[in-house]
Structure 1
Amino acid sequence: MEFIKGFTYGWMSRIGDFAKEEAKESMRLLKERTNSEYAIISLAALQDGAHSTEIDYSGDHMVTDEELIEMIGFAQSLGLKVMLKPTVNCKDGTWRAHINFFDLDVPCEPKWSEWFKSYTEYQMHYAKIAQKTNCDMMIVGCEMVQTERRENEWRNLIKEVRTAYEGPITYNTDKYQEANVKWWDAVDVISSSGYYPINDWDNQLDRIEGIIKPYNKPFFFAEAGCPSRSNSPYVPNDWNLEGEIDLEAQKKYFQVMFEKTNKRDWVLGFGLWDWKALLHDEKEAFKDDDYAVFGKPAEKVIKNYYSQK
């Protein structure tokens, strides 16, 4: 597999967002300003809570199929390759890692079979779009920690997706969870979220290498990034961490992450987090403490690294 110079694009975009000219300009800037070669278009369906079994991917919280197809085509016209990443959030704010049900069915309680039925329908809808638009990869789930023990259901889902989509498939497990997935043999590429402390990269890379090596499959970090906030480099996964705006802290995080991973030839790229479809004003970038890198020093670090790979 080639090295993936990727950026996650459009997370939390709503109906109409991709139809705006600003969104296309954002995609153009994504390529120009970071030298990315892959746009990972990430979609956020909704379920009511962690114990709900119905997934809604047709409401105003989603871009329409027409918008999505047009945006994929626009990205491809720029020379970008596209991964499609349909994932799910909970309306009540619970993180998707906590989606969970009883392992043994109980009458009148929500069941794994009901949830996977709805989730499979969701993935199949976008698998057909990924096939129609010649997407280069499909990411069939993200950081769904509690679901990962349901090995048979995941294997069946991946088998079903393959009936609609002929390209490579990966699953994006969460940080520290690489060993939690016992069905890596079912996917084409192994991926995880690389939100590791700036001072712990060597330890984590040693650990991950030992886990994935027996599978003999390509690996990349489908997500990785850091808010531009003081202390965030030590807990880059904590988007609620309180701290002062610190653009240099974010820049340093990317520098160290690239330095450490570059020494490991089995790390075959990134889907960096994240690039908004509707960007903030570049002149106001110094006021932004989020993961976004547009107009910040980290942006130049990324472009320089991707230009050299």
Structure 2
Amino acid sequence: MKLFKSLLLTSFAVLQLACSGQSPKINGVSFVASRNAITEKSVQPVVRINANFAALMPFGFIRELSHPEIWFNTERQWFGEREDGIKQYAEELRKKGIKIMLKPQIWVSNGQFTGFIKMTKEEDWKTLEKSYSSFILEYARIAQESNFEILCIGTELEGFIDARPNYWKGLITEIKKIYKGKLTYASNWNEYNRTPFWDDIDYIGIDAYFPVDDKQSPTLEASKKGWQKHKIEMKTYSEKHDKPILFTEFGYRSSDYAGREPWTVDRVDKQVNLEAQAILTQALFEEFWTEEWFSGGFVWKWFHDYEKVGGPEDNRFTPQNKPAEQVLKTFYSK
């Protein structure tokens, strides 16, 4: 009954949004790469939730946090992580009117946090810079050739950016020589306010895993209240730089305490809590999707094999086959 009431409130909130005259938002999914090509069947669930954007995520790999070389776009990788896979995915998605953000990402062995990448010698920093330039400029070429609408130039690389800000400024100049579309960077939620190059790109990108509620089962009212401090800071920051905020990732696990540390990805056997995920998702939409300074976002994460993912026993991030999917569909509707 509690969840039913929440969904009724969601419908009312969307009606208010529709009457507000707001410009269309980026209603996106983070489309996970797989071993295989996708088909129309893979895209139909994206269409059904009224999404208008998909983030495609090719990966480059680093052996360890202090290793300076990135390998990428090789036959050893899954199809969806390579150039041919990205183009095939985009082709199928665009048949249904879905626009594309290309979001190349780095994976460090054992899933170590990319924000901790740090070299110990100047020559290794130089090698990393050269390697990262090769990586991102290759995907800038692909984004330009394929007319992708947005290119994300990096994801959660705060240590690299803090240590080498001049490199990143120069890199953006080089990217713009190749790619003529919109640019963003996916900063971690606690990183965005010290990222030095927002004035050089189009969106202030944030992976929005802000802590908003520390309860086992959050309420809508408390979750919305938990956003207020973060929201005020983001609005002020957006106005300072005269750039819109884009949630390059947002979402919650369907588990207890999902709003306490939303960035947690550990494979733990937490109690499944579908209602927590749905309520937290609704709170985020109600707080942000009516704001002029906010451009939208990409839910984390969406898998191509719809029937086999998510569901009532799953405590991971995907909203698929869960009540949170209905929240997405409602707010993503026009």
Check whether TM > 0.5. Answer: yes
Deviations 1:72-113 (A, max 9, x none): 1111111111110001010233111111124x72xxxx5222
Deviation at 1:20, TM superposition (A): 4.6
Deviation at 1:211, TM superposition (A): 2.3
The answer as to 2:106 corresponding to 1:88 is: yes
The answer as to 2:44 corresponding to 1:28 is: yes
Match of 2:177 in 1: 163
Q: CA separation in 2, counterparts of 1:262 and 1:79?
A: 21
Seen in structure 2, the aligned counterparts of structure 1 residues 262 and 168 have a Cα distance that, compared at 3 Å, is closer
Alpha-carbon contact 1:148-1:180 (below 8 Å) kept: no
Match of 1:122 in 2: 135
The RMSD of aligned alpha carbons is 1.8
Deviation at 1:119, TM superposition (A): 0.7
Pairs within 5 Å for 1:127-142: 127-142=140-155
Q: CA separation in 2, counterparts of 1:212 and 1:260?
A: 16
Match of 2:13 in 1: none
Name the SS of the counterpart of 1:111 in structure 2.
helix
Q: CA separation in 1, counterparts of 2:133 and 2:112?
A: 21
Deviation at 1:277, TM superposition (A): 2.7
Pairs within 5 Å for 1:99-248: 99-102=117-120, 105=122, 111-149=124-162, 150-199=164-213, 200-240=226-266, 242-248=269-275
Q: CA separation in 2, counterparts of 1:273 and 1:61?
A: 21
Seen in structure 2, the aligned counterparts of structure 1 residues 71 and 270 have a Cα distance that, compared at 3 Å, is same
Pairs within 5 Å for 1:257-268: 257-262=284-289, 264-268=291-295
Q: CA separation in 2, counterparts of 1:3 and 1:20?
A: 26
Farther off after superposition, 260-269 or 76-85: 260-269
Q: Which has the higher helix share?
A: 2
Gaps of 5+ in 2: 1-22, 214-225
Q: CA separation in 1, counterparts of 2:247 and 2:84?
A: 29
The answer as to 2:64 corresponding to 1:49 is: yes
Deviation at 1:134, TM superposition (A): 0.8
User: Counterpart amino acid of 2:70?
Assistant: I
Alpha-carbon contact 1:45-1:62 (below 8 Å) kept: no
Q: CA separation in 1, counterparts of 2:147 and 2:73?
A: 22
Q: CA separation in 1, counterparts of 2:179 and 2:78?
A: 21
Name the SS of the counterpart of 1:162 in structure 2.
helix
Q: CA separation in 2, counterparts of 1:295 and 1:2?
A: 26
Q: 1:6 aligns with which of 28, 50, 67?
A: 28
Name the SS of the counterpart of 1:257 in structure 2.
helix
Deviation at 1:198, TM superposition (A): 3.1
Name the SS of the counterpart of 1:161 in structure 2.
helix
Q: CA separation in 1, counterparts of 2:47 and 2:161?
A: 33
Deviation at 1:62, TM superposition (A): 4.0
Deviation at 1:2, TM superposition (A): 4.7
Seen in structure 2, the aligned counterparts of structure 1 residues 242 and 92 have a Cα distance that, compared at 3 Å, is same
Q: CA separation in 1, counterparts of 2:269 and 2:237?
A: 33
Deviations 1:118-139 (A, max 9, x none): 0110111111111111100000
**TM-score where L is the length of structure 2:** 0.83
Name the SS of the counterpart of 2:42 in structure 1.
helix
Alpha-carbon contact 2:38-2:92 (below 8 Å) kept: no
Alpha-carbon contact 1:45-1:87 (below 8 Å) kept: yes
User: Counterpart amino acid of 2:261?
Assistant: V
Aligned residues: 295
The answer as to 2:331 corresponding to 1:295 is: no
Alpha-carbon contact 1:47-1:91 (below 8 Å) kept: yes
Alpha-carbon contact 2:45-2:306 (below 8 Å) kept: no
Percent identity between the two aligned chains: 24
